[in-house]
Every structure is written in C-alpha cells, then in structure tokens.
Amino acid sequence: MTAGESGGKGLESPSGERGPFLSAHVGYWVAGWMQGRGVCSAALQEALRQARDELGLHRIQASVLPHNTASTAVLHRAGFTLIGTAPSYLRIAGSWQDHLLYQRILH
C-alpha cells in the first residue's frame, strides 16, 4: 500500500490466506486538487499488475458509492465489471451507505 498527501492505493486480502479464493479488495483515493489527472487510473493499473504478476491473484474486487461517477469511470477503464449492489455496505459520515460492487478477473 502507498499513501501520501495527495492520495493512496492498496490491496487487501480479507482472509489473509491464499487458499482457493486468491482474491483481494482494492481501494484508492486522491486529493481534490489531483483529481482528473489520471492518478487513480495509473495507480489502479499498477495495483492490478502487482496482484497478477507478483501475488498471483485471480480476482480483484472494488466497491464504490453509486453517486461516485469518477471512481466508477476509473473502474470501467481498468476493465472491471459490475457484479451487484451491496445494501448498507459501509458506514460513511454516520450512515450506512449502499455500494456498487465490481470485479476484475486477472487470470
């Protein structure tokens, strides 16, 4: 995982074990003044490369708020597909928020 003043990215394996799942969840953020410069797209492409080539993962999942069109566009450009909606998925700003779930199959 990398993070700094302008943004960050990270891969997280929910179980911490390899087993048959070989999957991880990816997340990213970028400071407002860095938005629209391709930073998240480049970071996500590098995370996908590392997940496939260095970690040998099969699948990456990402979740996004339905109204976050910029993040949804990043996922689409990276080849992610929508797999469903998770009601009340994360508590954000004091309330449970629905999220769209996306995945990218690497192998």
| pTM of this structure | 0.82
Residue 15, pLDDT score? 45
Q: What secondary structure, in 3-state letters, does the chain show?
A: CEECCCEEEEEECCCCCCCCCCEEEEEEEECHHHCCCCHHHHHHHHHHHHHHHHCCCCEEEEEECCCCHHHHHHHHHCCCEEEEEEEEEEEECCEEEEEEEEEEECC
Residue 73, pLDDT score? 95
pLDDT along the chain (107 residues), means of 10: 49 57 87 84 92 92 95 96 97 96 95
